[in-house]
């Protein structure tokens, strides 16, 4: 965990010493999303996409932080997750969240629509990274940023395996050097690599060339 992120989490913890486990997890989420907003250089009028959003925890928090003038696309390939995201956005009173059914190999979003896009613990599930990365590149505006937050396998290989095997068993995960190489091959420029993002996750920040 980076020193900046650790200090942010500690501040939340000290402010609420009697916090429940759920409250502590929420504080960590808020701190991580605050940091993500900075890394992606997002502003109140930004358009950003959360690809493979799951139940939408990060979607909801980033939409809350950016405010009503922003637009947050939230996608997933699972219909139950899409229902959960819609319900969470409604419960939070958010009007800046747009839920979109995703696809395994493309974003299903318009070309050039986003200032930034991110995937959190999702990249290793890409069965065809070249296809998905090409779609992400098209979805971004020129100069748009793409953040990959992911982690290596907890056990198993010390070198990466073919993409279709990264999502299951002992091979579950992806190495940051692999992400960097695949993003470069797709035409992205690598901005920075943060080896200690949150928990056991790293972050690779890439940019669509101007």
Which stretches does DSSP call E strand in the chain?
47-51, 71-76, 97-101, 114-120, 140-150, 189-198, 201-207
pLDDT category at 158 given cuts 50, 70, 90 is: confident
Q: Model confidence over 31-74: pLDDT tens digits?
A: 999 999 999 999 999 999 999 999 999 999 999 999 999 999 99
pLDDT of res. 168: 85
Q: Model confidence over 104-140: pLDDT tens digits?
A: 999 999 999 999 999 999 999 999 999 999 999 999 9
């Amino acid at each position: 965990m980076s020193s900046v992120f650790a200090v942010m989490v500690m501040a939340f913890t000290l402010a609420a010493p009697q916090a429940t486990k759920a409250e502590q997890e929420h504080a960590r989420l808020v701190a991580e999303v605050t940091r993500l907003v900075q890394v992606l250089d997002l502003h109140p009028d930004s358009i950003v996409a959360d690809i493979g959003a799951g139940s939408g925890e990060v979607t909801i928090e980033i939409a809350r932080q950016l405010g009503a003038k922003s637009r947050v696309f939230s996608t997933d390939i699972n219909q139950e997750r899409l229902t959960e995201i819609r319900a969470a956005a409604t419960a939070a009173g958010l009007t800046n969240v747009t839920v979109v059914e995703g696809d395994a190999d493309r974003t299903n979003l318009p070309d050039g629509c986003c200032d930034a896009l991110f995937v959190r613990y999702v990249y290793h599930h890409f069965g065809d990274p070249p296809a998905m990365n090409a779609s992400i590149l098209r979805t971004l505006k020129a100069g748009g940023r793409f953040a990959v937050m992911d982690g290596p396998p907890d056990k198993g290989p010390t070198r990466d395996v073919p993409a279709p095997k990264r999502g299951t068993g002992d091979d579950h995960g992806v190495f940051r050097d692999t992400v960097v190489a695949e993003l470069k091959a797709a035409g992205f420029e690598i901005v920075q690599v943060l080896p200690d993002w949150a928990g056991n996750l790293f972050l690779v920040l890439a940019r669509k060339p101007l």
